[in-house]
Amino acid sequence: MIKLIALDLDGTLLKKDKTISQKNIDCLRQAKALGVKIVICTGRPLAAIEAIIDEIGLRDTGDYSITFNGGAVQANASGEVMRAHFLNRSQVEDVFTLMQKIDLPLDVISEATCYHLPTAKEHPSIYQTLNPILSYEDVTLEELPKDIPYHKMVVAYEMDYLDEKIKVIPTDYYQKFNMMKSRTRLLEILHPEVSKANAINELATHLGIEQAEVMAIGDEENDRSMIEYAGIGVVMGNGNPELKKVAQFVSTTNEEDGVAHAIETLVLPDYQ
């Protein structure tokens, strides 16, 4: 019996126009009413998903979200951080130097603020167009505040150029950091211990929920860890073809109420 559903947003719960279908909302509310924990699991900060939390009805005590792609576990009602892994200054400086060398833009995210760093003047970051809800500041490395948590770094640029540059990133950086593409135009750089799977495991343990009682629903490479971790890993019909190979269930697309389809098929029958 599934007791916790970990749910990605972009390409999963959200349609292309960034809205949630009424069928998905109704199905999630039904599952919650039966006692199933609905946990949004996203690369965004909590401030950027407040409207989604309220639309689904996940503002009660005991409701949680996993933010920054597993970088933090937070209580929805209070914003309290139960678990977090931050990057340190030397890690930021290391990646800054690399991005200058390979001519890629770099942004550092702290809470709901994104700091643009000048690593590729001819190739400016497009992150603000991908995530307009955050606050944005242009700073030099010296001006980047030192007394704030660095949740993650992102490289946001057009797909073809980004993919070519990713090929020249030294392999040791994949040991130093958890690096993955979460969208076609977005590379995310996280603390090496950060993943959606690790965050879900810590939350599930806190709640007394077994790994076999977790269902994870996603569509992209940044969802791989939780798809592989969960008792039931679900990939959307529009999801990454390679990710579908590790799924226990492939649902319909995000335009076809794929979240509701998975829950109606795999979760709700056990509660009847």
Give mean pLDDT, residues 7-21.
Answer: 96
Is there a contact between 120 and 105 (Cβ–Cβ < 8 Å)? yes
With 90 as the cut, is the pLDDT of residue 182 above it? no
- Those residues whose C-beta lies under 8 Å from the C-beta of residue 263, and which sit 6 or more positions away, are 5, 27, 28, 31
With 90 as the cut, is the pLDDT of residue 253 above it? yes
Indicate the pLDDT class of residue 83, thresholds 50, 70 and 90. confident
Furthest-apart CA atoms within the chain: distance in Å = 59
d(CA 252, CA 259): 8
Catalytic positions: 8
In the chain, CATH 3.40.50.1000 sits at: 4-84+194-271
Tens digits of residue pLDDT in 96-119: 999 999 999 999 999 889 999 999
For position 272, what pLDDT does the model report? 85
For position 124, what pLDDT does the model report? 96
Give mean pLDDT, residues 219-243.
Answer: 96
208, two tokens = 């007394």
d(CA 97, CA 111): 23
For position 112, what pLDDT does the model report? 86
How much is the pTM? 0.86
Tens digits of residue pLDDT in 48-74: 899 999 999 999 999 999 999 999 999
φ, ψ (nearest 5 deg) of residue 49: -125, 15
φ, ψ (nearest 5 deg) of residue 74: -130, 150
Give mean pLDDT, residues 238-254.
Answer: 96
d(CA 156, CA 154): 6
With 90 as the cut, is the pLDDT of residue 144 above it? yes
Which CATH code for domain 4-84+194-271? 3.40.50.1000
Q: Please give the DSSP secondary-structure letter assigned to residue 20.
A: -
Alpha-carbon dihedral sign for residues 51, 227, 172, 72? positive
Percentage with pLDDT > 70 across the chain = 100
241, two tokens = 């073809």
Indicate the pLDDT class of residue 201, thresholds 50, 70 and 90. very high
Q: Where are the alpha helices (DSSP H) in the chain?
A: 22-33, 50-56, 89-102, 127-130, 159-166, 173-176, 196-207, 224-229, 241-244, 258-266
In the chain, CATH 3.30.1240.10 sits at: 89-190
d(CA 266, CA 125): 40
For position 195, what pLDDT does the model report? 94
Closest CA to 153 of 144, 163, 143, 164: 144
Is there a contact between 20 and 45 (Cβ–Cβ < 8 Å)? no
Which CATH code for domain 89-190? 3.30.1240.10
CA distances, 128 to each of 135, 136, 157, 168 (Å): 9, 8, 11, 25
